[in-house]
Amino acid sequence: LRYFQQACYAASAVGYLTGRPGVCLVVSGPGFLHALGGMANATINCWPLIVIGGSSDRNQETMGAFQEFPQVEAGRLYNKLSVRPSSLEVIPAVIEKAVRTSIYGRPGSCYIDIPGDFVNLQVNKSSVKYVECCLPPPISMAEHSAVSKAASILALSKQPLLIIGKGAAYSHAENNIRQLVDLCGLPFLPTPMAKGVVPDNHPNCVAAARSTALQHADVIILLGARLNWILHFGLPPRFRQDVKVIQIDICAEELGNNVRPAAILLGDINAVTKQLLEEFSKRSFKYPSNSEWWKRLRVKIKNNEERSKGLALQKSLPMNYYTVFHHIRELIPKDCILVSEGANTMDIGRTMLPNYYPRQRLDAGTFGTMGVGLGFAIAAALVAKDRAPGKRVVCIEGDSAFGFSGMEVETICRYNLPILIIIVNNNGIYTGLDANSWKEMLKLGNPATCVPPVSLLPNSHYEEIMSAFGGKGYFVKTPEELQSALKASMTDKQTPSLINVMIDPQSERKKQEFPWLTRSNL
């Protein structure tokens, strides 16, 4: 990739998609610093990553060496392990420890520092401390008494809710979770990157009634999800004061954060879900589908879906977000990997674009990181090329988000990755100005002082960046043009494409109960 930060984001996404750490190689000083964003993002997302960075020669430390920086010390804030090998002989052991640390327990990033003078050093081969590759992460299971207690609490619930986090996706727990949902008849809510662990079109999915489900559930099972800002910390008024939380997590330190659980199940999400399945198979528990709770949720789901459908079918021009996503949903493959980032683009896209398979949605994540889009898309395309040839990657960006990493279009074209980039362009961040309003604004004086800082240059032709590097670019303003561009892009499976979709600069999402920063964008 062209930029260290994007390379680090890409490597972390490889780790999430494969379960083995992606590796990112960076140069010293500024290169290391630019990769810190990727290290922090991986650790906070709980994705395995290894970053190997060059550093200045050891005999020049404190002398003002070229790109000298305390990299090991700085790396400790953002990584599970930050280390410099003491000699050439121990490098294999250090690499093994970094790989093991990145995937054991709660996954995360590890940094290995290689001084410049190591490059030309020689060592006797017999003195090198070779070690075997680490075993796969051990599978831990919850105590039987805790499983039994959790099952008893759930069996007595009047308004249960299962929340599926991306930890469940990483654990490959989809089969057992699907069985648990079906066996017990539970309503479930996926966090954004857990979409597809159980398909979004499953009748028990209550994502369209998210606020109601969270606010009124009396028992909540957390499957690899954390009670952080994404889930409003599990606190009132977003949750009931007396809600009983059954918390399932691989990390002991996470248990009890913000809310004291009624039951704690420490272990691998897939293994613990299987334990719950075995427990419920003995109890024959099935939550009734005709309960008042289900009726309430279904009414809310129907109302919200009708509101979104009404916005999606509007014929006015310029188009709104919902119209754009309606046509995208109709024409992209159901098994494509979706990458999404932006403000309204990501938020609305999450509700409008269903996922049917696990680990096929990548977005700003727990850290809310903008700029991850194209790095994630490149990683997804390379993993798909190796593991699922023919699978498409669709990267949907806001125009502001695209600006963080737009030059990686060259990387996409250089490696001829058949990625489709869709830019939902509203000329700004949240809202922008149309061309006429922009001209009027310029009459007031210097645009640096007169134009709102969230406004970007109107009608920017981002698709020409793709064309400049040999891909195919489309500039569309109408539903018919969008449909035509989507069909052409989906038909051509060999060439990267970018569709620049102009929408109403004042288009927003339907009115919500809570502002963006208190909703989930992960």
Query: 433 φ, ψ to 5°?
Result: -120, 145
Query: 25 φ, ψ to 5°?
Result: -105, 125
Which residue(s) pair with 341 in the sheet? Answer: 397
Average pLDDT of the chain to the nearest whole number: 95
Q: What is the mean pLDDT of residues 342-365?
A: 96
Which residue(s) pair with 181 in the sheet? Answer: none
| Radius of gyration, alpha carbons of the chain | 24
pLDDT value, residue 508: 82
- For the chain, domains (ranges, CATH) are 4-127 (3.40.50.970), 144-299 (3.40.50.1220), 314-502 (3.40.50.970)
pLDDT tens for each residue of 452-469: 999 999 999 999 999 999
Q: Tokens for 405? A: 């990493």
pTM: 0.94
Q: List Cβ neighbours of 154 (8 Å cut-off, separation of 6 or more).
A: 160, 184, 219, 221, 246, 285
Distance (Å, rounded) from C-alpha 439 to C-alpha 388? 49
Query: 227 φ, ψ to 5°?
Result: -85, 65
Residue 63 vs residues 68, 69, 199, 334, 339: alpha-carbon distances, Å: 9, 11, 58, 57, 45
> Interhelix angle for 344-352 vs 321-331, to 10°?
50
Yes or no: say if 449 and 414 are a contact pair by the CB < 8 Å rule: no
CA nearest to 17, candidates 388, 352, 522? 388
Q: What is the DSSP string of 111-131?
A: EEEEEGGGTT----GGG----
Query: What's the one-letter identity of residue 508?
Result: E
Q: What is the mean pLDDT of residues 71-99?
A: 97
Q: List Cβ neighbours of 342 (8 Å cut-off, separation of 6 or more).
A: 349, 370, 396, 397, 398, 400, 401, 424
pLDDT tens for each residue of 185-216: 999 999 999 999 999 999 999 999 999 999 99
Residue 324 vs residues 26, 331, 337, 395: alpha-carbon distances, Å: 39, 11, 18, 14
3-class secondary structure, 298 = helix
In the chain, % of residues over pLDDT 90: 96
Residue 520 pLDDT greater than 70, yes or no:
no
In the chain, % of residues over pLDDT 70: 98
Yes or no: say if 110 and 78 are a contact pair by the CB < 8 Å rule: no
Q: Tokens for 387? A: 């593991």
Q: What is the DSSP string of 10-71?
A: HHHHHHHHHSS-EEEEE-STHHHHHHHHHHHHHHHHT--EEEEEEE--GGGTTTT-TT---H
pLDDT tens for each residue of 368-407: 999 999 999 999 999 999 999 999 999 999 999 999 999 9
- Note every long-range contact of 19-22, with CB atoms under 8 Å and residues 24 or more positions apart, other chains counting: 19/48, 19/103, 19/170, 19/172, 20/48, 20/99, 20/103, 21/48, 21/49, 21/50, 21/98, 21/99, 21/102, 21/103, 21/110, 22/48, 22/49, 22/50, 22/379
3-class secondary structure, 189 = strand
Q: What is the DSSP string of 241-274?
A: TT-EEEEEES-GGGTTSSS--SEEEES-HHHHHH
Yes or no: say if 505 and 428 are a contact pair by the CB < 8 Å rule: yes
pLDDT tens for each residue of 464-495: 999 999 999 999 999 999 999 999 999 999 99
Before 318, cis peptide (omega within 30)? yes
pLDDT value, residue 511: 58
